[in-house]
């Protein structure tokens, strides 16, 4: 296994370089870069000043007319666009491989500092979503497999499919309307993970305040994600329950719990581990944007979205850099989990 893991670690480097290279050339050559974004803001301010009757007759943003050419050159040099694309790319690659992702164009702060400030929100939302997804889907899937075809199985299947059919952000809007002071009950807050007086609360008060804030966003995230895992668990257990070794274990007089959790569970666990990396990444990053926006949670998803809109390329590349690193290591952890769940798996046997 160790040679395989070492090889995977070495493969991560070209994979990371490939992702950064593709993103760099996409961001550098799309219309409307950071320079144009600043000029657009200046144009809007100039138009507003003209409407107010103050100085400034208004210059056209198109073709950068009406602005000092020297100022445009200064902005271009400030953001590094006065250098050839290849030089910018090599400099970016050198800095990123040494974990220096640079400074934000518009926030006057280092990218790592921004990520550090926003990471807590995404990690908090992601951990709860990820843990609750598996804590609910695995026991429920096992219960459905044991009672396959019963009324419990049919009713829970309908509920699970209904939850799966409703997108997380739609459920979030419904929860806000019902419990966030929309039209019915004003029970849960709709902004941030803690109250303004959180520092003044005692330990128990801080815990309850945090759980009070996180309830609605986590509910919106979990309901739409655990359905697939529940049905996968059920189908996997049904397939394993019908195998010969289960009949043999029952013939030996083992209790049903021992058969399920000592014999069936380990074999049925492998398909669940297959989806571990994707669920992890979705819970922490890709699925959090709409939830963060809806519940005013200032996390990495919202930071990435705003950075793309404002053409803040260092932040875009920095967040993608982090997402890619986490994704690669989570995939590696999933391979390790294969071996821990089933020691019979040998990665070197798959190599020529």
Indicate whether 263 and 165 sit together in one domain.
yes
Number of folded domains in the chain?
2
Q: Is residue 275 part of a domain?
A: yes
- In a domain, residue 27? The reply is no
> What does 160-187 look like in DSSP terms, one character per residue?
HHHHHHS-HHHHHHHHHHHHBSSSS-B-
Pair of tokens at residue 108 = 């006057």
Asked if residue 303 is part of any domain, the answer here is yes
Q: What pLDDT does residue 235 have?
A: 87
Mean pLDDT for all residues in the chain:
79
* Distance from C-alpha of 111 to C-alpha of 217, rounded to nearest angstrom: 26
Residue 238 domain-assigned (yes or no) = yes
**238 and 286, same domain (yes or no):** yes
**Does residue 247 share a domain with residue 207?**
yes
Kindly state whether residues 72 and 119 are assigned to the same domain. no
Same-domain status, 117 and 65 = no
> Do 74 and 175 fall into the same domain?
no
Phi, psi of 180 (to 5 degrees): -110, 25
Whether residue 205 is found in the same domain as residue 287: yes
Contact 240, 267 (CB under 8 A): yes
- Give the model confidence (pLDDT) of 318-345 as tens digits: 888 888 888 888 888 877 777 776 666 6
Q: Which domain holds residue 67?
A: 35-82
pLDDT surpassing 70 at residue 67: no
26 lies in a domain? no
pTM here is 0.73
* Residue 292 belongs to a domain: yes
**Does 122 lie in the same domain as 70?**
no
Angle formed at CA 100 by CA 95 and CA 102, multiple of 5 degrees:
95
CATH of the domain at 329: 1.10.3720.10
The verdict on 201 and 154 lying in the same domain is: yes
69/127 same-domain check: no
Q: Does one domain contain both 314 and 228? A: yes
pLDDT higher at 52 or 106: 106
Does 178 lie in the same domain as 51? no
Adjacent-strand bridge partners of 186: 180
Kindly state whether residue 293 falls inside one of the protein's structural domains.
yes
How sure is the predictor about 56, in pLDDT bands with cuts at 50, 70 and 90? Answer: very low
The arithmetic mean of pLDDT across residues 303-331, rounded, is 85
pLDDT band with cut points at 50, 70 and 90 for residue 43: low
Question: Is 28 among the domain residues?
Answer: no
């Amino acid at each position: 296994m160790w040679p395989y893991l070492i090889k995977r670690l070495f493969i991560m480097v070209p994979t990371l370089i490939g992702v950064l290279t593709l993103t760099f050339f996409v961001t550098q050559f799309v219309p409307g870069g950071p320079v144009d974004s600043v000029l657009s803001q200046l144009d809007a301010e100039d138009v507003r000043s003209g409407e107010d009757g103050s100085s400034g007759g208004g210059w056209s943003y198109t073709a950068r007319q009406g602005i000092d050419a020297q100022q445009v050159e200064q902005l271009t040099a400030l953001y590094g666009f006065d250098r050839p694309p290849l030089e910018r790319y090599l400099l970016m690659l050198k800095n990123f491989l040494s974990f220096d992702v640079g400074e934000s164009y518009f926030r006057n702060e280092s990218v790592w500092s921004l990520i550090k400030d926003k990471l807590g929100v995404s990690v908090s939302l992601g951990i709860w979503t990820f843990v609750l997804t598996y804590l609910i889907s695995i026991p429920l899937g096992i219960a459905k497999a044991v009672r396959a075809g019963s009324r419990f199985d049919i009713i829970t299947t309908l509920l699970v499919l209904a939850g799966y059919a409703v997108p997380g952000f739609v459920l979030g809007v419904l929860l806000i309307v019902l419990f966030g002071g929309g039209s019915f009950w004003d029970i849960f807050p709709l902004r941030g993970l803690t109250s303004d007086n959180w520092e003044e609360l005692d330990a128990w008060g801080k815990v309850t305040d945090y759980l009070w804030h996180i309830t609605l966003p986590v509910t919106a995230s979990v309901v739409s994600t655990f359905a697939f895992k529940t049905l996968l668990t059920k189908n996997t257990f049904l397939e394993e329950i019908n195998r010969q070794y289960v009949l043999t274990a029952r013939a030996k007089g083992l209790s049903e719990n021992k058969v399920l959790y000592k014999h069936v569970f380990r074999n049925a666990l492998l398909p669940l581990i297959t989806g571990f990396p994707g669920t992890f990444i979705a819970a922490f990053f890709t699925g959090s944007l709409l939830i963060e926006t809806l519940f005013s949670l200032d996390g990495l998803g919202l930071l990435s979205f705003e950075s793309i809109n404002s053409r803040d390329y260092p932040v875009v590349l920095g967040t993608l850099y982090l997402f890619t690193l986490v994704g690669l290591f989570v995939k590696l952890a999933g391979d390790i989990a294969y071996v821990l769940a089933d020691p019979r798996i040998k990665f070197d046997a798959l190599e020529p």
